[in-house]
Amino acid sequence: MVDYAPLHRAALVNLDKWVSGESRPPPSCHPSLVCGTAMESKSILIQKAEFNPKIKTYILLLGSIFLIATIVGIPLLFIWLMGLGQYISKNYYNNLSCQLSNSSLEFKKGILFKVEKTIPLENIQDLTFNENPLSKYFGLNILKIETAGQSNSDGSDMKLIGIINSKEFKQRVLSQRELLQSGKQVNSTSSDSDRNQIINILTEIKEILVGIKNK
């Protein structure tokens, strides 16, 4: 007959240490992101923004106004209007992209100096709208993305012009950000709850073993 008394004593000693917090229980066998036994879920596309074609005309006229205002650029105005401006405005429009995923906001823009950014949703503080007389005339909203730790030099890089239904897109981004933050809070609360449940289970096991030993 096998004597289980040494095993019971060892279990009771370890359970006492785990319940009292003197030592930590053995590592869990469940998959974990921390130890590399589980993989993080892939990014899921929620919405891809569409841009108003009027952006091409806006860029063309904005460049013309800039050349006239500088006086020196007036001789280049003809070249701008007859070909160069159309080429730049068309390619600027074609290079615009912005999409919202379950965890980030990604966008691309620019021609010579291209900007590509992936912003985690939890880093977005707010989305605001700017406008100037020309953009207002064409009905183009300029969406500004405000993030934590953003410097003034990054201001122009964090603006997107001409998103169709920009107000609805803004609300979708902020709603997904809130959903992501609330999910993390639930996970944190669940972790604390799981720990308490484990301690309760260990305490019950200890009491059962004590009862078996005393019989």
**What sign does the dihedral 158-159-165-167 (CA atoms) show?**
positive
**pLDDT at residue 161 tops 60:** yes
**pLDDT at residue 77 tops 70:** yes
Q: Picking from 17-26, 49-58, 87-96, which range would have the lowest pLDDT averaged per residue?
A: 17-26
Q: Picking from 51-60, 73-82, 92-101, 193-202, which range would have the lowest pLDDT averaged per residue?
A: 193-202
- Rounded to the nearest angstrom, the gap between the alpha carbon of residue 146 and the centroid of all alpha carbons in its chain is 13
- The whole-number average pLDDT for the span 124-150 is 91
**pLDDT at residue 37 tops 60:** no
**pLDDT at residue 107 tops 70:** yes
The residue among 67, 94, 81, 85 whose CA lies nearest residue 162 is 94
CATH architecture of 47-175: Roll (2.30)
Q: What pLDDT, on the 0 to 100 scale, is given for residue 140?
A: 95
Q: What pLDDT, on the 0 to 100 scale, is given for residue 23?
A: 72
| Tokens 């952006």 sit on residue | 55
CA 159 to each of CA 32, 144, 156, 171, 210: distance values in angstroms, whole numbers, following the listed order: 38, 4, 6, 16, 67
**pLDDT at residue 95 tops 60:** yes
Q: Of residues 87 and 210, which shows the higher confidence score?
A: 87
Q: Could you read off the pLDDT of 1-25 as tens digits, one per residue?
A: 556 566 666 666 666 676 666 676 6
**pLDDT at residue 41 tops 70:** no
3-state secondary structure of 196: helix
**pLDDT at residue 88 tops 70:** yes
CA 117 to each of CA 34, 58, 100, 145: distance values in angstroms, whole numbers, following the listed order: 26, 24, 12, 11
Q: Of residues 32 and 110, which shows the higher confidence score?
A: 110
CA 174 to each of CA 41, 76, 102, 139: distance values in angstroms, whole numbers, following the listed order: 21, 43, 11, 23
Read off φ and ψ for residue 38, nearest 5 degrees.
-135, 155
Spatial distance between the Cα atoms of 215 and 9, rounded to a whole number of angstroms: 14
Residue percentage of the chain with pLDDT more than 90: 45
Q: Of residues 178 and 32, which shows the higher confidence score?
A: 178
The pTM score is 0.65
| Tokens 């920009």 sit on residue | 166
Domain ranges of the chain: 47-175
